[in-house]
Amino acid sequence: MPRMTARSRHEHHRASTPLELFFDLCFVVAVAQAGARLVHSLAEGHLGAGLAGYTAVFFAIWWAWMNFTWFASAYDSDDVLYRVVTLVQITGVLILAAGVPRAFDDRDFTVCVIGYIVIRLALTSQWLRAARNAADPGERGMALRYAAGLVVCQLGWVGLLFVPVGTARSLVFVALALAEVAVPVIAERDAQSTWHPHHIAERYGLFTLIVLGETVAAATVAVQEALDEHEALGELLPLAGGGLLIVFAAWWIYFAVPIAGHLVSNRQAFAWGYGHFVILGSAAAIGAGMEVAVEQAVGKAHISTAAASAAVTVPAALFMITVWALHSRHFKRTTAQQLVLPVSAAATLACTFAGHAAVLAAGLVAAATVATGVALTARDGEGEGRRVDGHG
């Protein structure tokens, strides 16, 4: 059997593999399930239950993806055993996706936990394999701590199934989630895994693209169904146009600057990686919000226009401000550039109260955000060039 050894963090031309892309695509099923349940909850006016369920379920989806992604960045050997074990993890992901409706609606995480057991058995075996082939005691200890952390946390999730639904279960869930995010920090306290900055940045970017694509697909289906049932073209066109502008702007804003150069150590990379829970969750929620807005426009949702509009504007604003905090602010050179996304996020929230034009208004704000950012970058870039040339 080939040895699984750590890959170099400075490896040239490191890119995502077809297996990694296949792994990501399988998560679309789970993301779509979470979005669909969120739509149902918000359309029925169950805001608190909907947000709590969505947050819990999306954490489970996102964390399963995180666990695989960072391991693969450091140890992807792409041999037969690695591929087979990864396919086993994909099986666990599909089981997890099948359990999303029960987890969301009834707080029954049994199927999700079974999916996690499959994922974790496979991933733990990968960490043990890495430990066996480690180059030094520090790396071996790190890999063993990862394996132990996965096992301990998974035992906690199994125990969660025996806690009665209610406040106690919610508190245990939060405690276990915090334990999960602590595992990488503890595991790498003495030795760091050799994750690749450009590879990690690409992997997160590709998953963001997949989530945005699911958002477009969900909104398109919602508009299509509404047209088939109600022929409300006048009400739906502004929603579709505004939603499309928001998604286009989200893509532009996220990919405006390359982030790999910022990921120089675990301190920067872990904060950046964990923060993507909000970026990815809000991106997926934009699509769910679009579906809610469409249902409200044709009279199928039992909520106000402002509430339906907020289902779009709030996640859109959250996406903007989080991308600024994690990405953009590290590359802005002037106060004007720094203010673009925070001001745009506030303006997007203000659009909530624009009545039936709220989503279109938010879309126009998003488009203006991109245009302003491009103009400021071009202006300040020219000014910097003049100073360098001695003409400023």
Sign, CA torsion 68/69/74/80: positive
Nearest CA among 237, 243, 245 for reference residue 219: 243
Residues of the chain with pLDDT under 70: 1, 230-232, 381-392
CA 256 from centre of chain = 18
pLDDT of amino acid 389: 35
Q: What is the DSSP string of 106-171?
A: H---HHHHHHHHHHHHHHHHHHHHHHHT-SSHHHHHHHHHHHHHHHHHHHHHHHHTTSPTTHHHHH
Sign, CA torsion 357/49/316/94: negative
What is the pTM for the complete model shown?
0.91
DSSP run (H or E) holding 245: helix 233-254
Digit-coded pLDDT (tens) for 202-211: 999 999 999 9
pLDDT of amino acid 203: 95
pLDDT of amino acid 212: 92
Digit-coded pLDDT (tens) for 241-288: 999 999 999 999 999 888 988 888 898 999 999 999 999 999 999 999
- CA–CA dist 191, 171 (Å, integer): 32
- CA–CA dist 126, 4 (Å, integer): 9
pLDDT of amino acid 1: 60
- CA–CA dist 69, 104 (Å, integer): 25
- CA–CA dist 64, 265 (Å, integer): 22
What Cα–Cα distance (Å) separates residue 331 from each residue in 149, 263, 372?
35, 13, 16
What Cα–Cα distance (Å) separates residue 368 from each residue in 229, 287, 312, 373?
34, 21, 17, 8
Q: What is the DSSP string of 290-321?
A: HHHHHHHHTT-S-S-HHHHHHHHHHHHHHHHH
